[in-house]
A = this chain, B = another copy of it.
């Protein structure tokens, strides 16, 4: 039952179902082994518990093994901004690298298992392994480009376009993990979606209702079925 349960801590990178997502493709087998040795696997986190909190000392970046994580920051005035949703195979915590402590927080949106990668050891390993260094440069660069896509979304798109884009993003990421891209469960609340997309809860709810009425979606609480993918893509591609 070691490899069968996604929450199980007694797994390693070589066996992990997610390794094609979070590990560099270019790594040789023995290189994966060396990376595997520095990865810490803790026990499952339950819903709402923190992976790290704002002002915690920065020491590691993280990969989602199962479940889902959201990150958020809080401004000086106490305004909360959800900055990302992370699904299995995805990496988070890279914003802490520039500082000695985290400037955001990460919490489990449901029961989740994560891999902790101590940053100092990752730095050492990167010095010795060119492909690993390159991989992490790329990972960070990808974070930058995805942030910039969100900036464009917030800056230029309507409420409907924002919601459609988020749904398609989650759909695509599910598909990448060989899950259904048309039928899935949203791990986050309406409030989280609204906060992330710069909308109020009410607006998000109205958009879902409108999409349902228009036959684009079948919505049942957090269970979503996309019934008209191309119409949704049409909307997202403003």
Whether A197 sits at the interface, judged by CB under 8 Å, is yes
Closest residue of B by beta carbon distance from A194: B155
Set of chain B residues within 8 Å of A134, measured between Cβ atoms:
123
Per the CB 8 Å criterion, the residue count for chain A at the interface is: 45
Contact across chains for A144 and B147 when beta carbons are under 8 A apart: yes
Closest residue of B by beta carbon distance from A124: B130
Whether A103 sits at the interface, judged by CB under 8 Å, is yes
Within 8 A of B (CB), among A5-33: none
Kindly state the separation between the CA atoms of A196 and B154 in the bound complex, as whole angstroms.
11
Set of chain B residues within 8 Å of A98, measured between Cβ atoms:
138-139, 141-142, 144-145
Question: Which of B133, B152, B238 touches A73 (beta carbons < 8 Å)?
Answer: B152
Contact across chains for A148 and B73 when beta carbons are under 8 A apart: yes
Contact across chains for B155 and A81 when beta carbons are under 8 A apart: yes
Contact across chains for B123 and A133 when beta carbons are under 8 A apart: yes
Given contacts A142-B98, A156-B198, A198-B155, contact A81 B148 (CB under 8 A): yes
A162 CB, nearest partner CB in chain B, Å: 10
Whether A212 sits at the interface, judged by CB under 8 Å, is no
> Which of A37-45, A89-97, A110-118 is the interface stretch?
A89-97
Contact across chains for A197 and B155 when beta carbons are under 8 A apart: yes
Contact across chains for B148 and A148 when beta carbons are under 8 A apart: no
